[in-house]
Copies of this chain bind each other. A is one copy, B any other.
Amino acid sequence: MPVHILRLGHRIFRDKRITTHLFLTARAFGAEKGYYSGERDSGLEESVKKTSDNWGGDFMIEHVPSPKSFASNFKGKIVHLTVYGLPVEKKIREIRKGKNILVVVGGEKVPPGFYMLADWNISIGSQPHSEVSSLAVFLDRYFRGEQLKRNFPNAGLRIIGQERGKKVIRL
């Protein structure tokens, strides 16, 4: 059940680190591919690519100039993460039945069309927090934690968890 991520309205100066954290989370938590709208940011693309080069897998991101038409043409179901939506715990079973999903993650202002376009508007709690947290918890629930145990193919580096200290092996 492949999961794609669409981040709306990226702004290079303000969002650089948040969007990077968002896509690294997407990759680490089992998403297939990322897309973003807003300002095109080659530094962002590069740093995501570098992570996949070092740590494995082929997760990458791509800029989309028109997110609404991109989402409309997506072959699958759309989950829009928003604090105004229905609680994740009530809908996650239903969402898991979709074979191909696009998870839409807002920036500062989400065009109202996305609330209509989405098959589900889903909240991770009803308090303000972070799109990074929302995506992480959504994917953790969606994949039932299995994504954390996954090995990434073609990795150059791998961390071996320790009680104390750091162990990284070169492959």
Question: Complex Cα distance A159/B116, Å?
Answer: 19
Residue A62, interface by CB 8 Å: no
Given A84-B167, A86-B161, A161-B87, answer yes or no on A130-B136 (Cβ-Cβ < 8 Å): yes
Question: Complex Cα distance A88/B132, Å?
Answer: 19
> In which size bucket is the chain A interface?
35 or more
Residue A129, interface by CB 8 Å: yes
Evaluate contact between B162 and A121: CB separation under 8 angstroms. yes
Residues of chain B with a CB closer than 8 A to A28's CB? 125, 127-129, 133
At the interface with chain B, which of A2-10, A38-46, A94-102, A145-153?
A145-153
Residues of chain B with a CB closer than 8 A to A130's CB? 21-22, 24-25, 132, 136
Residue A137, interface by CB 8 Å: yes
